[in-house]
């Protein structure tokens, strides 16, 4: 009975999700100065017309990441490691980066994290 309950929870986690569209998604691999991987993160951005910059809306440390490529867009699906919820983002602009700095932290100089409008509340 307990196994059936766990399987039901797992199905709900992956079936009860909405797709949210953002302007840019970055899949970032962040390394330290010794080239040791610190983390992999997904960063969602929207274009801010007044500052002429992409501003971070939210970021996640994903598990079970899947990237579907379509003709005009990409869809990223993953499990949020912190909230244990299934997430699904759609974007026309996607980039995968390998950096020795955290792009989300660097973007804070343009918009304080407290002022961000989260993609998923």
Listed in sequence order, the residues at least 6 apart from 73 whose beta carbon sits closer than 8 Å to its beta carbon are 90, 91, 92
Q: For 57-61, 84-88, 89-93, which range has the lowest pLDDT when averaged over its residues?
A: 84-88
Q: Which range has the worst mean pLDDT, 16-20, 22-26, 28-32, 115-119? A: 16-20
DSSP class of 4: H
Q: Model's pTM, two decimal places? A: 0.84
Rounded Cα–Cα distance for residues 26 and 44 (Å): 7
User: Alpha helices of the chain — where are they, by DSSP H?
Assistant: 2-15, 103-107
CA distances from 96 to 24, 89, 93, 110 (A): 11, 15, 11, 21
């Amino acid at each position: 009975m307990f196994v059936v309950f766990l399987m039901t929870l797992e199905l709900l986690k992956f079936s009860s999700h909405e797709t949210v569209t953002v302007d840019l998604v970055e899949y970032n691999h962040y390394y330290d100065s010794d080239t040791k991987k610190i983390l992999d993160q997904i960063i969602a951005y929207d274009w801010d017309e007044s500052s002429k910059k992409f501003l971070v809306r939210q970021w996640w440390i994903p598990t079970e990441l899947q990237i579907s490529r379509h003709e005009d867009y990409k869809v990223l699906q993953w499990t949020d490691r912190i909230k244990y919820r299934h997430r699904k983002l759609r974007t026309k602009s996607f980039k995968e980066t390998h950096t020795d700095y955290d792009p989300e932290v660097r973007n804070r100089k343009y918009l304080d994290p407290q002022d961000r409008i989260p993609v998923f509340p």
